[in-house]
Amino acid sequence: MRVFISWSKAKSRECALKLKELLEYANPAIRAFVSETDIAPGEGAQKKIISNIEDCDVIALCLTKENKKSPWLFYEAGFASGLNKTVVPILFDTNPMWHSWIDNPINESREINISGKDFLDNMLIAFKLDDTRKNVSAIEKFKEDIHEINDKLRLVDIECEDLIEKLVNEECFAFESPFYKNKTAYFMSGFESQELYKAISSSFMESGKYLWIYGRKNMKLLTGQHRLFRYLADNVSNEHQGMAGIDFRCLFLDPSSEEVEYAHIKPSLLRSELNSNIERALDIVNSNPALSGSFRKYSGKRDEIIIRLDNAIIYSRPIFDHNGRPQILTNIGFEVFGADSEKGKRCIKKFQEVWESSASLKNH
């Protein structure tokens, strides 16, 4: 059997090399082609790739979160599919919704998921491997190797991956971003947008415990996230279970504070909007008293914007003009990093300090 192994980007390349090693060990009759090792210096790469796809029996696609939109994978899969070759997508990252981000022709074939319970059986069937103790052991070792590769080449802390995945699937965040450095994802735009709050609310409602917002007016949270507050109403009870394991906190700038004079080019407008949104928050509390301690107001200058979504931190900094007033924040860049990172720990400490020095909305 001839197997063409298609890859794109660093993690996929490492997975492809491990797959080649596994297949040729498990069945010496298999010849697995990987461009990284099977194209000699000076050879025509494109010509050899096309030749090997034409000659192969199976094309294995090494899919990761980083390469899911790779044109090379689509090209090679499409070319092989047009030749009626067997196309086997292998998912090296857990993503139950992979069909939503992979288009034809990759989407036409049933995938093999390395995290799936049937991974062993699917590998044996797809590559016609004998069900021997040696091969079973080799496939188990292959899974361990892949987990090591995932840990070694992880772009961000694992706690941030689902949120970043959700953001990347929104075009408004994915244009020329994010880029990654030091386990942090940097988005070029989209902060304080409705799309960001929708993604945050959706992630929190799926399985969230922590949602902390060091906001100012919180207008987009209160005017556009009705599903979030219905969810809180259903899951936070004042009778028996209290906050039911949910830690929701939201900070407003105090409309009566001196900082209002510096926090907006039109202080009177900001004060009016703050009062309106605090009234909205109080309406939420009136309908669900268990949330009475979830909203507070602070008085000092906010020079960092911190949102904690479970163990992910969404972070940005205001841009101030020459008079010290913050510029419009909607659609500026932002970062996502882990709460357990050094920067994440500092952000949590900062939020808690502001929270502890803030005041209740009750006397508003």
Residues 180-202 as b/e (b if ≥16 CB within 10 A, e otherwise) read eeebbbebbebbbbeebbbbbbe
- Which run of H or of E encompasses 242? none
**Alpha carbon of residue 273 to chain centroid:** 32
Q: Could you read off the pLDDT of 67-126 as tens digits, one per residue?
A: 877 888 889 999 999 999 999 999 998 764 555 445 555 666 788 999 999 999 999 999
Question: At the fourth CATH level, which superfamily is domain 2-152?
Answer: Toll/interleukin-1 receptor homology (TIR) domain (3.40.50.10140)
Topology of domain 158-360, per CATH? Endonuclease; Chain A (3.30.870)
Instruction: Match 């900070």 to its residue by tokens.
Output: 251
What radius of gyration do the chain's Cα atoms show? 26
- Contact (Cβ atoms closer than 8 angstroms) between residue 326 and residue 319: yes
DSSP tag of 325: P
pLDDT, residue 235, reads 77
pLDDT, residue 101, reads 45
pTM above 0.75, yes or no: no
Residue type, 97: M
Structural domain spans, the chain: 2-152, 158-360
Q: Which two tokens stand for residue 109?
A: 């074939």
Please name which of 186, 146, 189 lies closest in space to residue 171, comparing C-alpha atoms. Answer: 189
Residues of the chain with pLDDT under 70: 95-108, 174-176, 225-226, 237-244, 320, 322-329, 363-364
Q: Which residues pair with 3 in a beta bridge?
A: 32, 58
The stretches of 169-241 forming alpha helices (DSSP H) are 171-174, 194-207, 219-224, 226-235
Question: Cα 153–157–161 angle (5° rounding)?
Answer: 95
